[in-house]
Amino acid sequence: MQKNKPTIVLFMALWLSACSKMIQIPDPASSITITKVFATDATATSAMAGVYTQLINGTYGVANSNYATNVFSNGLTTILGGLSSDELQTTTANNGLYQLSANNLTAKLADQSYIPTLWTSAYSIGIYGANSVLEGIAAATSPDLTDSTRRELTGEAKFIRAFCHFYLTSFYGDVPLVLTTDFNKTASLPRTKQADVYAQIIKDLKDAQAALPDNYISSGGRIRPNKWAAAALLARVYLYTGDYNDASAQAGSVIDHAELYHLEPDPNSVFLTGSSEAIWQLQQNTSISNLGNATPEGSFWLPNPLHTGRPPSATLTSELLNAFEPGDKRRADWIDSTDYTPDGVIPATTYYFPCKYKTGTYNYSVGGTATEYYMVLRLAEQYLIRAEAAANGGPGGATTAIADLNSLRSRAGLNSLPAGMAAADLKSALAKEWQTEFFCEWGHRWFNLKRTRQASVVLSSIPVKQPWKGDYQLLYPLPTQEILNDHYLTQNPGY
């Protein structure tokens, strides 16, 4: 996807990055320009590729000191979700992240943090980009844009639109549902009830599932979503909405597609470019200075030097470290530490950080070959979705749930869970597997605690989060500027 892209991708990048406001986005490009963009299979595909590029490389396609925090989809979701849950802590109270770690947000403090970037980037990059592609393809009349490409790109764009709306509603609750680039319609949108947002997400994903191919189109890897990526995200949404039968069916359809997907036996192989566990990955631009062939998260987490350098601004908590059973390979392979001595005199302090990605600031290469892409969807989640659905009355019951959990435990080098577990013990084991398999990955822990109604129970007992300010902190405040721009928007209660 990164090689030999036509210059139209540069146009798309400028077009998308020009959307400086999330809902108040500019009028779409002229019909003449759209006609050129969607004139052929190659140019239309490049337009869609431009959306993926911005999702991973950020708003301007260049790296800076905030390269893992300048768009919701290149590390920011992981970092903020980890701080809000019990995964991450800040290394200093003055780095702009402490209020998140303490669950002590106000609207003013949130405005001064990275939280507004979640909102603006999801709308102005992902959703605007997806809607632009959908409208461009619908308006295109060129015979050089084939029906198969129209269908595939329409499916990809609907998938991306659903993907972005999912993360928006997971962080903010009720959010505007944006299905057009028309400024006259988007400038004054109210918030849509979360149930209706989910309904649109499901519709978009079903449409994508029907339109996308079984296999991967790109020769560069699993960097364009296919039918099974749509099924995987659909399974998650069904789980979140309590539709356990459909969640099980969608997750099972991915798991059963064994010719494409299987659990990697070695945890160190899971996040590689050739991982058979990968369902969808984002490909970084290796030519960006200070980032190179590293993923944005790899650059954020890994110190330089690796074991003695300054720790990242968010490090792992004792609550997470203590969650692993003895002998868990995930603890050994996906967590590392640095013994940092800032002045060379005082005793070193040990800080722990995730190392699911092995390429970072200490070993990256500008223009080098990427051995890791940024993992967005992977097979292990489907096992957990099917297990949770089964444990809550879905197909297969406890037998299926235990078997699916044991598939992940086996890969982690742990003993199998026994048959005939009590229902409460099974659900506890399920929550633990979610925690230890998907720590510091796309906010899973934060979202899982909230949707299972365990967030205030678990988090309010953590010292840094006491006294618990209130369950309203489980939703982030909307950016104040966006409420000023759109008087139909209202703030979340409590802020």
Digit-coded pLDDT (tens) for 246-274 = 999 999 999 999 999 999 999 999 999 99
Would you state the torsion angle of the CA atoms of residues 439, 441, 445, 448, taken in this order, to the nearest 10 degrees?
-140
Indicate the pLDDT class of residue 348, thresholds 50, 70 and 90: confident
The pLDDT value recorded for residue 95 is: 62
The pLDDT value recorded for residue 68 is: 78
Sequence letter at residue 261 = Y
Would you state the torsion angle of the CA atoms of residues 186, 132, 54, 81, taken in this order, to the nearest 10 degrees?
40
Are the C-beta atoms of 48 and 157 separated by less than 8 Å?
yes
The pLDDT value recorded for residue 33 is: 66
- For the cut 90, the answer to whether the pLDDT of residue 17 exceeds it is no
Indicate the pLDDT class of residue 351, thresholds 50, 70 and 90: very high
The pLDDT value recorded for residue 6 is: 33
Angle at 381 between CA 380 and CA 386, to 5 degrees: 105
The pLDDT value recorded for residue 345 is: 67
Measured distance CA(255)–CA(232) in Å, rounded: 9
Measured distance CA(201)–CA(215) in Å, rounded: 22
Closest to 283 (Cα-Cα) out of 367, 343, 223, 198? 223
Question: What own/partner pairs with CB < 8 Å and gap ≥ 24 does 396-402 have?
Answer: 396/248, 398/423, 398/426, 401/426, 401/430, 402/426
- For the cut 90, the answer to whether the pLDDT of residue 70 exceeds it is no
The pLDDT value recorded for residue 94 is: 65
Would you state the torsion angle of the CA atoms of residues 102, 103, 104, 106, taken in this order, to the nearest 10 degrees?
140
- For the cut 70, the answer to whether the pLDDT of residue 60 exceeds it is no
Residue spans per domain, the chain: 1-212+470-495
Measured distance CA(178)–CA(161) in Å, rounded: 9
Digit-coded pLDDT (tens) for 122-157 = 999 999 999 999 999 999 999 999 999 999 999 999
Q: What is Dmax (Cα atoms) for the chain?
A: 71
Mean pLDDT, range 396-419, rounded to an integer: 98
Q: Which two tokens stand for residue 410?
A: 């086996």
Place of tokens 């050739």: 274
The pLDDT value recorded for residue 7 is: 32
The pLDDT value recorded for residue 12 is: 46
Mean pLDDT, range 71-84, rounded to an integer: 96
What beta strand segments (E) does 185-329 contain?
278-282, 314-316
Q: Please report, rounded to a whole number, the percentage of residues in the chain having pLDDT higher than 90.
A: 84
Indicate the pLDDT class of residue 393, thresholds 50, 70 and 90: very high
**Residues 6 or more apart in contact with residue 97 via CB below 8 angstroms:** 79, 83, 90, 113, 114, 313, 314
- For the cut 80, the answer to whether the pLDDT of residue 196 exceeds it is yes
The strand pair at 374-378 and 278-282 is best described as: antiparallel
The whole-model pTM stands at: 0.93
Domain 1-212+470-495 belongs to what architecture? Alpha Horseshoe (1.25)
Digit-coded pLDDT (tens) for 296-334 = 999 999 999 999 999 999 999 999 999 999 999 999 999
The pLDDT value recorded for residue 29 is: 44
Measured distance CA(413)–CA(45) in Å, rounded: 42
Measured distance CA(181)–CA(306) in Å, rounded: 45
Indicate the pLDDT class of residue 220, thresholds 50, 70 and 90: confident
Mean pLDDT, range 90-111, rounded to an integer: 86
Q: Is 33 exposed, middle or buried (0-12, 13-18, 19+ CB in 10 A)?
A: middle
Query: According to the 3-state scheme, what is the secondary structure of 305-365?
Result: CCCCCCCCCEEECHHHHCCCCCCCHHHHHHEEEEEECCCCCCCCEEEEEECCCCCCCCCCC
Q: Which two tokens stand for residue 203?
A: 């519709």
Place of tokens 């991967």: 216
- For the cut 90, the answer to whether the pLDDT of residue 238 exceeds it is yes
